[in-house]
């Protein structure tokens, strides 16, 4: 993993309760050291492993944060939106500007949404290379025929795509409801998969991403921090 570089004032404000403008004052008053030497420029570029202290107290690197949210319908998977509430509006956390969504859901889709400020982890969740499996409960408008299970397993061809989808697993629950597990996350993928078979998705709920299942104790709109095991369940890319 390479070193990320950032400004000294950003490094300190990320890791402490000091605002960027307070940090600038601290630096200018000679209270900040980088690698043991007093720093004078708040805009100094440093690596994220740099040893930084304020008044001789070491400033730790901020702990990365990982959350699962039970996304309700009507909320957008975006950090900002002028018309609708966003997933981040549902979190009561400091430094919300640093949080990112790992795998978006449509506004009408409910269920498991992962949110983090660890960009590398986000990449591992969402990269098609990692084939992190996502399971959805799908409700469709027209009756399902067991013959389509093989079509999903073979790999469906979606309109406008150059390649087939990766093989997917469909388990029928009843004649209009199924569990679908896919290893990639193309735009509106599940809706387009059923549309390619002439059916319409009328309800979509994400239950699982890799080893992380939506916590049944979370009501729509509630969230919690991920456990260490859940965070570690997302494998490194080769």
Residue 205 lies near ligand URA (rule: CB under 6 A): no
Torsion over CA of 66, 69, 71 and 75, rounded to 10 degrees?
-60
**Closest to ligand URA by CB, 89 or 106:** 106
Candidates 106, 117, 145, 238; catalytic one = 106
d(CA 173, CA 70): 22
3-class secondary structure, 234: coil
Among the listed residues 124, 122, 75, the one whose alpha carbon sits nearest the alpha carbon of residue 102:
122
Pick from 119, 188, 225, 232 the residue near ligand URA by CB under 6 A. 188
Q: What is the DSSP string of 38-72?
A: E---TT-EEETT--EEETTEEPPPPPP-EEEEEEP
Pick from 33, 69, 76, 109 the residue near ligand URA by CB under 6 A. 109
Pick from 12, 69, 105, 226 the residue near ligand URA by CB under 6 A. 105
Active site residue 238: no
Neighbours of 42 (CB within 10 A): 20
Residue 165 lies near ligand URA (rule: CB under 6 A): no
Pick from 33, 124, 191, 205 the residue near ligand URA by CB under 6 A. 191
- Least separation in angstroms between residue 101's CB and ligand URA is 12
d(CA 104, CA 147): 30
**Closest to ligand URA by CB, 81 or 106:** 106
Which positions touch ligand URA (CB under 6 A)?
Answer: 105-106, 109, 188-191, 204
């Amino acid at each position: 993993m390479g070193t990320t570089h950032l400004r000294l004032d950003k490094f300190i404000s990320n890791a402490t309760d000091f605002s960027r403008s307070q940090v600038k004052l601290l630096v200018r008053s000679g209270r900040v050291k980088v690698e043991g030497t007093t720093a004078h420029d708040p805009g100094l570029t440093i690596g994220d492993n740099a040893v930084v202290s304020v008044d001789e107290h070491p400033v730790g690197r901020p702990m990365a944060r990982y959350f699962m949210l039970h996304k309700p319908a009507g909320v957008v998977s975006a950090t900002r939106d002028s018309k609708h509430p966003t997933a981040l509006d549902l979190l009561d956390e400091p430094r919300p500007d640093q949080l990112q969504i790992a795998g978006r859901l449509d506004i009408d889709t409910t269920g498991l949404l992962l949110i983090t400020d660890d960009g590398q982890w986000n990449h591992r969740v969402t990269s098609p290379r990692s084939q992190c499996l996502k399971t959805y409960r799908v409700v469709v408008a027209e009756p399902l025929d067991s013959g389509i299970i093989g079509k999903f397993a073979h790999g469906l061809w979606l309109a406008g795509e150059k390649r087939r989808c990766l093989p997917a697993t469909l388990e029928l629950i009843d004649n209009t409801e199924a569990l679908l597990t896919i290893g990639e996350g193309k735009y509106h993928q599940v809706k387009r998969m059923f549309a390619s078979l002439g059916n319409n998705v009328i309800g979509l709920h994400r239950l699982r991403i890799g080893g992380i299942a939506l916590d049944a104790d979370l009501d729509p709109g509630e969230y919690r921090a991920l456990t260490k095991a859940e965070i570690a369940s997302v494998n490194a890319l080769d």
